[in-house]
Structure 1
Amino acid sequence: MRLPTLKNTPALEPEALSEVTQRAVEDLLREGESKNTLISYRSALRYWAAWFGARYGRQIQLPVPTACVLQFVVDHADRTTDKGLAHELPIEIDQALVKSGFKGKLGALAHNTLIHRIAVLSKAHQIGEFKNPCHDPKVRELLSRTRKAYAKRGALPRKKDALTKEPLQAILQTCDDSVIGIRDRALILFAWSSGGRRRSEVASADIQFLKRTGPDAYLYNLAFSKTNQAGAERAENHKPIFGLAAQALSAWLTVSHITSGAIFRRVRKGGHIGEALSPAAVKDIVKKRCLLAGIDGNYAAHSLRSGFVTEAGLQNVPLAQTMAMTGHHSVSTVLGYFRITQEAEVTDLMRDARPNT
């Protein structure tokens, strides 16, 4: 069956995209990327342009030669010398980058920041269909050895401590019955009890995906996450929220009168409810509550995720159930969130042995 001839819609060329189609493709790519990722990409590309302009005296163009990527690494990665740690970025350029706001402080970049900026340059080449210098064997070998060098010096970032049940209870006690206190209690318990949600998932939690299933029970449909960016319907998308967490969530929804949109929002002066919280605000709430509770350790928003995994292990929750809640598909990945604590005595295999007499 053939369609009738169309008079008002011109036929497209199958070998090439029209300008309108190209814009639509770019719009979909942009919409499908997270806001935080786009911000970090733009920041990294601005830095590449600024560094390249200062280092080579010309505007950056893709593809970037492999030699430039190697130079970028040695400019920004510390290495051990007879005189101590050193990197190759000239102090004059370093000062100019900091003064212009492209760089936060003088000195080498943190290892994670360096790797992220290389990854963003690689992505730019991939999108532009250019030969990718970041895939050059020399670059890959240098990055591999650089990571090992940082690891030997103990310079890689430490994983965040786990907010297991005991420290979690301590920070919950800092949440009073003010509007902010009610919100923070609900937010922390929602994030922890639903499987250790990432801060971006907490910030984007929407009431349309929340279903009340009982007096003290909800079911939250995590339709989009880091491990399910296609929004596929899966059994593990549905996160049960029971008991204290459900009670705290009910209290927040009652006091905030939220019936649509973001669940967790800013509380303005006078207790007025504002716009949705940002992922950074979620992090700040967790850190603030840890500080108020006076608990020692390296805690942040991700501590809720490692805390849930660790507590589940301590309470002998089957690993399959833990993974269903966290959304992990890899055993090795979920085990990477487990933190050895004082309560975990599994390594003391000789605790019941009698000394020789």
Structure 2
Amino acid sequence: MSKIDQYIHAATRDNTQRSYQGAVRHFEIAWGGFLPATADSVAQYLAAHAETLSINTLRQRLAALAQWHLDQGFPDPTKAPVVRKVFRGIQALHPAREKRARPLQLEQIEKLTGWLDAAISQAAASNARAAQLRHTRNKALLLLGFWRGFRGDELTRLQVQHIDVVAGEGMTCYLARTKGDRQHKGSSFKAPALTRLCPVTAYLDWIALAHLQEGPVFRSIDRWGHIAEGGLHINSLVPLLRSLFSDAGIAFAEQYSSHSLRRGFANWASANGWDIKTLMEYVGWKNVQSALRYVDSADPFSRQRIEAGMHATLLAAPGK
């Protein structure tokens, strides 16, 4: 890989690179398209998958094809009028309802933490080191992911050497790249030490038990208790969380994902009086639309507002 290729590679998030590579393979291998592509072939590709792929997936496929052509020095066929019209037609005929991960509630965090604490104690008593390591790691991942509102890929990219901890006060996690950091300046995220459900204590317990001094914070553990050198793969995070939720007796475990931690914290903060600006600064959102997608209304059907307004109107009516 040349120096230029290395810098180009570094400019794009790993998740984005993987998804773009997969999209280009799908166009070229699974569908049988040719690269560089014509506008007509891209339009045919969209039409062929209009009923099987979501709008967001098709949008991502177009972005990947556009990036491939730009990287290779070819004109971008995805901006052609025929492609734009086909895409708008698909949006009109196949409107998609956005799917959102079920938010994790604080009561469920308490239940999960209680289950993990019991499992850790039982594993320690029976000398089952692999189980003890796994449950201790999961507790740290759960509490840090929730209280910091981390994305899944951010959790998997945390590095021990980039985390500073002040016992009893809090911790600072540095990430060289985040989704909203277009300038690649790096971002620091602080998490407080809490009297209950503490992410700092859970993190320190995991680091001490695993004897980690540098490298990825969260890693896979085999049946013999061997800890991997590399970090958890992003694709393993959702199955790990769903398995944990299922084992702990959380209903509808299959409806949760890594986004459930982020949405859960956003809903908790909003319900406890955090204004949207404070929440955006804490979590790292750059625009209000992104934040509002994660926050559910406390009165989703506006029943309380309508009832209150109706009551006030009736009281003010003549003869009342």
How many equivalent pairs are there?
294
Relative to the length of structure 2, the TM-score reads 0.83
How high is the TM-score relative to the length of structure 1? 0.75
CA distance in 1, matches of 2:235, 2:167: 32
Assess, with a 3 A threshold, how the Cα gap between structure 1 residues 144 and 277 changes in structure 2: closer, same or farther: same
1:38 counterpart = 2:12 = no
* Partner residue in 2 for 1:95: none
The alpha carbon displacement at 1:157 in A equals 4.3
1:239 to 186, 190, 196: 190
Counterpart of 1:271?
225
Query: 2:179 matched to which residue of 1?
Result: 226
What do residues 98-125 of structure 1 show as CA deviations (whole Å, max 9, x unaligned)? xxxxxxxxxx234333222222111112
Please provide the CA RMSD for this pair: 2.5
Is 1:72–2:26 an aligned residue pair? Answer: no
Alpha-carbon distance change, 229 to 188 in structure 1, aligned in 2, over 3 angstroms? farther
Q: Distance in 2 between matches of 1:300 and 1:248?
A: 21
Q: Structure 1 residues 346, 52: closer, same or farther in 2, change over 3 A?
A: closer
When Rg is computed on C-alpha atoms for both structures, the one with the higher figure is: 1
8 Å CA contact 2:165, 2:200 repeated in 1: no
Instruction: State the partner residue of 1:206.
Output: 159
**Mapping for residues 45-84 of structure 1, pairs under 5 Å:** 45-51=24-30, 53=32, 60-62=34-36, 64-78=37-51
**How big is each residue's C-alpha offset from its partner over 1:220-274, in whole Å with a ceiling of 9 and x where there is no partner?**
223321111533256xx23223221111111111111111111111122233322
Structure 1 unpaired stretches of 5+: 1-21, 79-107
> Which of 140, 145, 152 is the aligned partner of 2:89?
145
> More helix per residue: 1 or 2?
2
Correspondence for 2:109: 168
- In structure 1, distance between residues paired with 2:278 and 2:72: 42
Residue 348 in 1 paired to residue 304 in 2? yes
Contact 1:205 1:262 in 2 (8 A): yes
> Following superposition of structure 1 onto structure 2, how do residues 117-136 of structure 1 map, counting pairs within 5 Å?
117-136=61-80
Superposed, which structure 2 residues align to 1:13-28 within 5 Å?
23-28=2-7
Residue in structure 2 matching 1:306, options 246, 259, 263 = 263
SS of structure 1 residue aligned to 2:2: helix
1:44-101 superposed Cα distances (whole Å, 9 cap, x missing partner): 2222222564x7xxxx232x221111111111112xxxxxxxxxxxxxxxxxxxxxxx
Q: Give the deviation of 1:184 after TM superposition.
A: 0.5
Cα distance change on mapping 1:42 and 1:251 into 2, 3 Å: same
Shift of 1:203: 0.4
Does the aligned pair in 1 maintain the 2:191–2:199 contact within 8 Å? no
Paired with 2:266 and 2:283, the residues of 1 have a C-alpha distance of: 8
Match of 2:139 among 185, 196, 215: 185
Q: SS of the residue aligned with 1:273?
A: coil
The residue aligned with 1:321 is 278
Q: Report SS of the residue matched to 2:191.
A: strand
Long gaps (5+) in structure 2? 121-131
Contact 1:167 1:295 in 2 (8 A): no
**Do the aligned partners of residues 345 and 77 (structure 1) sit closer, same or farther apart at CA in structure 2, a change above 3 Å counting?**
closer
CA contact (8 A) 1:161 1:339 kept: no
Matched, 1:339 2:292: no
Shift of the alpha carbon at 1:39? Answer: 2.5
Cα distance change of structure 1 residues 44 and 248 upon mapping to structure 2, 3 Å threshold: same
SS of 1:174's equivalent in the other structure is: helix
